[in-house]
Amino acid sequence: MSELLGVFLAIALLLYILFGGADYGAGILEIFKGKKLREQQSELITKAIGPVWEANHMWLILMLVILFVGFPSVYHSLSTSLHIPVIMVLAGVVMRGSAFTFRHYDAIKDSSQKVYSFFFSLSSVWTSVWLGITAASLHRGLIKEGSQVYFEQYVAPWFGLYPLAFGLFVSSLFTFLSSVFLIGETQAPSLRSIFQRRAFYSNISTVALGALVFLSAELEGNHFARSFFESPASLVSLTLATVLLFALWHFIKTGSNNRLRIVAVAQTSLIIIGWLSAFYPNLVVTSTRAYTFTELAAPPAVLKQILIALIVGLILILPSLFYLFHVFKKETFRRKN
């Protein structure tokens, strides 16, 4: 049962990265909006993510609930050893959600719009980098429960080149996903070509930062790169994702909305699968040992209840979510290019 719950956790993670990620990326893209068509870009972003952003971030809440009910000790490590990066994420989440809503709903559109935009962009980068840092720290092997030394207990687990590289990788991935998403959200050729360019460059930077993640893992001597290359599933995923790059670049160039989205989603999923397979069946690696899914899971009676809640919950949520996207996004999927 813990494995099944692990699958739910992985799916929630993937959906958060895809939907929430495209959302974070939109905030990051606003930094690079250059001189041309600034207003139109912001307008498009607000229109594209406005109806769905609250729902997109619910996947994070879902993951959190799965963690603290089903894997309470992981939640425990997150909140003790990773206290600092987690509050950084939270500060960003608060700033970001409020700035985005305030910008849209402020009844008077004056210079305050600039302030909201500034905080929206800043917190988009900030939060995504800290999310990556937090995720990387869980399996980095420096979590040291019960240490009396402040640095060792609260800073060392997340401090260093590897988590930072991972954080930057995550925000670059989000930017890439968002660019791909936004190409399909508009029919204006000038805007589309802007986001086509962004999609290409952010894809290149994601690949480069991905390489940096492996390199930094080797530099600081953590086992991530080795376990990745020793896992057949990870290797297969990485190879497939690499092959798909050519298809991706082709579709970015031709601007085929749906095909491009499918390839981008496939690639991202492969990356996540590869990443998770690298340390499966472990969920958390501390300085002393690795803990598997099964070891960290709550008692079976609890797992059964949360699985029931998840299944019933998803029966309610998925159709409504589908309807939400149907109402607001059907046009963007119908358009071929």
Partner 1 sequence: MEHLLAARTIMGLSLGFHILFAAVGMTMPFFMATSHFLYLRSGNKEDLILTRMWSKGVAILFAVGAVSGTVLSFELGLLWPEFMKHAGPIIGMPFSWEGTAFFLEAIALGLFLYGWDKMHKWVHWGSGLLVGLSGFASGIFILSANSWMNSPSGFEWVNGQAVNIDPVKAMFNEAWLHQTLHMQLAAFQAVGFAVAGIHALLLIRKHNIELNLRALKISLFFGAFASLLQPLSGHFAAQRVAELQPAKLAAMEAHFKTQKNAPIIIGGIPNVSEEKVDYAIEIPGVLSFLAFNDFDAEVKGLDQFPKEEWPAVTVTHFAFQIMVGIGTLMAGIGTLFFYLVWKKKLNSNAFLRTLILTSPLGFVAIEAGWIVTELGRQPWIIYGVMKTKDAVTKFPDLYFHGILFLSIYFILSLATAWLLYRQIKVANKIWEIP
Cα atoms in the Cβ-side hemisphere of radius 13 Å centred on 5? 32
Measured from the CB atom, is 87 or 211 closer to partner 1? 87
Residues in contact with partner 1, shown as a per-residue x/- string from 238 to 277 under the rule CB under 8 A: ----------------------------------------
Candidate residues 1, 37, 69, 240; the one interacting with partner 1 per rule CB under 8 A = 69
User: Closest approach of Cβ 84 to partner 1, in Å?
Assistant: 8
Amino acid present at 258:
N
Under DSSP, is residue 286 helix (H, G, I), strand (E, B) or coil? strand
How many CB atoms are closer than 10 A to CB 287?
Answer: 15
Q: Which amino acid is at 131?
A: L
User: Which of the stretches 69-77, 199-207, 230-238, 243-251 binds partner 1 when contact is defined by CB under 8 A?
Assistant: 69-77
Mask for 290-329, x = binds partner 1 (CB under 8 A): --------xx-xx--xx--xx-xx--xx--xx-xx--xx-
Number of H helices, E strands in the chain: 16, 2
Task: Specify the stretch interacting with partner 1 by CB under 8 A; choose among 31-39, 82-90, 205-213, 227-235.
Answer: 82-90
CB 161 to partner 1: min, Å: 24
Per-residue CA distances from 301 to 2, 91, 315, 326 (Å): 11, 35, 21, 37
- The DSSP string of 174-242 is HHHHHHHHHHTT---HHHHHHHHHHHHHHHHHHHHHHHHHHHHHHHTT-SHHHHHHH-HHHHHHHHHHH
Partners of residue 290 on adjacent β-strands: 285
- If one asks whether residue 61 binds partner 1 (CB under 8 A), the answer comes out as yes
Distance in Å, CB of 108 to partner 1, minimum: 5
Identify which of residues 106 and 230 has a Cβ nearer to partner 1 in the complex: 106
Strands in the chain per DSSP E: 282-285, 290-292
Q: Which residues bind partner 1 (CB under 8 A)?
A: 50-55, 57-58, 60-62, 64-66, 68-70, 72-73, 75-76, 78-80, 83-84, 86-87, 90-91, 93-98, 100-102, 104-108, 150, 154, 298-299, 301-302, 305-306, 309-310, 312-313, 316-317, 320-321, 323-324, 327-328
